[in-house]
Amino acid sequence: MMSTVALKRAWSADLDAATLYRLLRLRVEVFVVEQECAYPELDGRDLEPGTRHLWLDDDGAVLATLRLLEEQVDGARAFRIGRVCVARFARGHGYTARLMRAALAETGTATVRLDAQSHLIDMYAKFGFVTVGPAYDDDGIMHVPMRRG
């Protein structure tokens, strides 16, 4: 039987505990275990009222996810994309691009910021992001601040 990978989206308040657990579990598997970064993955922002979670679901399994935060920058509505990750076994299928297109469709013309791992700058540039600051070390992984709009 062939499965269909479905794009899912939920405001933080609408996430059930089991789904939130699956999203956080994937993030910990990628960022903490695979990338060997002991950092506070649970930063308190996942449940903020303006937070949206997007993920790709394959019959209950989370293959990829990202977090879209709504922020105010200089009095204007803006967004921050973060926690973009894909399960190791699911990479190479365009899942990051699918999630990015969905997230950017929600942001409209508003400014969107993200902190890209340096090796992913070109990938984010394909979505209109440009580097806006110097590279910095975050737990042993070089990152670059980027902005769109």
> Is the pLDDT at 53 greater than 90, yes or no?
yes
Judged by average pLDDT, the poorest of 71-80, 82-91, 122-131 is 71-80
E-assigned strand segments in 12-149: 52-58, 61-73, 76-86, 111-117, 130-131, 136-138, 141-148
Over residues 96-115, the pLDDT tens digits come to 999 999 999 999 999 999 99
Judge whether 128 and 108 are in contact, CB under 8 Å: no
What span, in angstroms and rounded, lies between the C-alpha atoms of 6 and 19?
14
What span, in angstroms and rounded, lies between the C-alpha atoms of 1 and 12?
32
What span, in angstroms and rounded, lies between the C-alpha atoms of 61 and 89?
12
Average per-residue pLDDT for the chain: 92
Whether pTM > 0.85 for this model: the answer is yes
E-assigned strand segments in 1-127: 6-11, 52-58, 61-73, 76-86, 111-117
Q: Which of 52, 116, 109 is nearest to 84 (CA)?
A: 116
Mean per-residue pLDDT, 60-78 = 93
What span, in angstroms and rounded, lies between the C-alpha atoms of 61 and 57?
5
Q: Please give the distance of CA 12 from its chain centroid, rounded to a whole number.
A: 14
> Is the pLDDT at 63 greater than 60, yes or no?
yes
> Is the pLDDT at 2 greater than 80, yes or no?
no
Over residues 8-52, the pLDDT tens digits come to 999 999 999 999 999 999 999 998 888 777 767 788 899 999 999
Given pLDDT bands bounded at 50, 70 and 90, which one contains residue 3?
Answer: low
